[in-house]
Amino acid sequence: MKMHGLGNDFVVVDARRRDWPVTPAIAQAIADRHMGVGFDQLAVIANGSGDAHLTFYNADGSTSAACGNATRCIARHLMDESGKTALTLTTDRGALQACDAGDGLVSVNMGQPQLQWDEIPLAHEMDTLHLPIDGDPAATGMGNPHCSFFVDDADAVDLPRFGAAHEHHPLYPERTNVQVAHLIAPDHLRMRVWERGVGVTLASGSSSCAVAVAAARRGLTGRSVRLSLDGGDLQIDWRDDGVWMTGGTSHVFSGQFTAQWLEQIG
């Protein structure tokens, strides 16, 4: 299936009835927007202890423990399939709760943010709210590492250059997602995203959660905030039981890989 959440697009493979091991080469081939299908992330649905288990791959073939928008898209598909209005989806991030939020929206609890340096992880002990990097970013873990910059104008930042320069910063041994955001109102932020292993994306669920948490920790906003991304808006609510993300989803088409193409990519 090809799906997207606010333009953050995914190829989703349903492997519940037939195991389909993914190698970095396979993920890279599918990600190719000219000779494959194209995606920001590849997600594989497998059987698990909950309603399903999800595994995520970046466009460069690396794995990611969490992908919030893909989780919401898959939750919508599984709820439509089963008739359920609430699900438990297991990931390398842990068990995530998802539910129908009404009006075509889906909410996912992305779990508690990781705020300690060794959880994110960072290279050594430091204040995660104020990193010793030009621009004074904050670090947050949401199953993957994030580096959030609060700037005067997110749209004025040369994001391809800025994101690439910070993804491999030595303070982040596992690389990092990079966000730039500015305050519109105490409950509204404008943000843009560079995802590790992918590049600029129109939206990112885990990045939105990270920015909302960092903004609340710095006192810029409350714990409920609207994030306006290039692809649309997400609502983030940092509650006692975790960071809830709510937004729309889109199932673009369903199909199958041909045997010839699969043979070509090995």
Give the residue among 54, 13, 50, 49 at the shortest CA–CA distance from 31.
13
223 and 164: one domain? yes
Three-state secondary structure call for residue 77: helix
Three-state secondary structure call for residue 53: strand
Residue 57, in any domain of the structure: yes
CATH of residue 42's domain is: 3.10.310.10
Residue 71, in any domain of the structure: yes
Residue 130, in any domain of the structure: no
Are 221 and 25 in contact by the 8 Å Cβ rule? The answer is: no
CA-to-CA separations, 85 to 23, 50, 139, in angstroms, rounded: 33, 14, 34
217 and 253: one domain? no
pLDDT of residue 21: 87
Residue 142, in any domain of the structure: yes
Residue 161, in any domain of the structure: yes
Three-state secondary structure call for residue 138: strand
Q: Quick count: other Cβ atoms within 10 Å of Cβ 98?
A: 26
Residue 18, in any domain of the structure: yes
152 and 228: one domain? yes
Residue 258, in any domain of the structure: yes
Residue 59, in any domain of the structure: yes
213 and 256: one domain? no
The model carries a pTM of 0.93
232 and 257: one domain? no
Domain count across the chain: 2
147 and 232: one domain? yes
254 and 222: one domain? no
148 and 95: one domain? no
**pLDDT tens digits in sequence order for the chain, 266 residues long:** 999 999 999 999 999 999 888 999 999 999 999 999 999 999 999 998 999 999 999 999 999 888 999 999 999 999 999 999 999 999 998 999 999 999 999 999 999 999 999 999 999 999 999 999 999 999 999 999 999 999 999 999 999 999 999 999 999 999 999 999 999 999 999 999 999 999 999 999 999 999 999 999 999 999 999 999 999 999 999 999 999 999 999 999 999 999 999 898 87
152 and 105: one domain? no
Q: What residue numbers bound the domain in which 97 lies?
A: 2-110+249-265
Q: How far apart are the first and last CA of the chain?
A: 21
Rounded Cα distance, 154 and 184, in Å: 11
